[in-house]
Chain A
Amino acid sequence: MKKIKTQLSDDDIKYLAILSRLSLKTDEIGNLKSKLSETIEYINNLQKLNTENILPTASVVNMKNVVFQDGVPNKRRLKSSEALKNAKNKTEKFFVIKKRVI
Chain B
Amino acid sequence: MNLIGKSVTELRNLIKSKKVSKGEVWDFFVKRVEKYNKKLNAFLTIGEIKNLDNDGELAGVPVAIKDNFCTKGLRTTASSKVLDNFIPPYSATVVKKLEGAGSVILGKTNMDAWAHGSSTETSAYGSSKNPWDLSRTPGGSSGGSAVAVSAYLSPYAIGSETAGSIKQPAAWSGVIGLKPTYGRVSRYGLISMASSTDCPGPLTVSVEDAALILKVLAGKDEFDATTSQVEVKDYPKLMKEKRKFTIGISDEFLAGVDEDIKKAFFKVKSDLEKMGHRFKKVSLLSPEYSISVYTILQRAEVASNLSRFDGVRYGNTREFFGEEAKRRVMLGNYVLSYGYYDAYYKKAQKVRTLIVDDFKRAFKDVDLILTPTTPMTALKLGEWEKYPFFGEKMDVLNEPIAIAGLPAIDFPVGLDRKGLPIGLQLTGNYFKEDEVLNAAYQLEKETEFYQVIKKGFKKWR
Contacts and interface: CB of A to CB of B under 8 A. Distances in A.
Contacts of A54: 350, 353-354
A87 B313 CA distance: 5
Contacts of A26: none
Interface residues of A, number: 50
B311 interface: yes
B13 to A, nearest CB: 34
B289 A20 contact: no
A24 B329 CA distance: 13
Given A54-B350, A61-B405, A20 B329 contact: yes
B42 to A, nearest CB: 26
A43 B351 CA distance: 12
A66 B289 contact: no
Given A46-B351, A57-B352, A60-B356, A20 B333 contact: yes
Contacts of A45: 288-289, 292
B interface, over-half SS: helix
B75 to A, nearest CB: 11
Nearest to B315: A86
B334 A87 contact: no
Nearest to B349: A56
Given A86-B315, A87-B314, A46 B327 contact: no
Given A19-B333, A39-B331, A39-B389, A63 B87 contact: no
Interface string A1-44: 01010000000110011011111100010011001101110111
Contact of B344 (A43, A86, A87): A43
Nearest to A76: B223
Nearest to A23: B319
Interface string B313-353: 11100110101001101111110010010011011111111
- Select the residue from A23, A28, A31, A61 with max chain B CB neighbours within 10 A: A61
Interface of B: 85-87, 89-90, 182-183, 196, 222-223, 225-226, 228, 288-289, 291-293, 295-296, 303, 307, 310-315, 318-319, 321, 323, 326-327, 329-334, 337, 340, 343-344, 346-354, 356, 388-389, 404-405
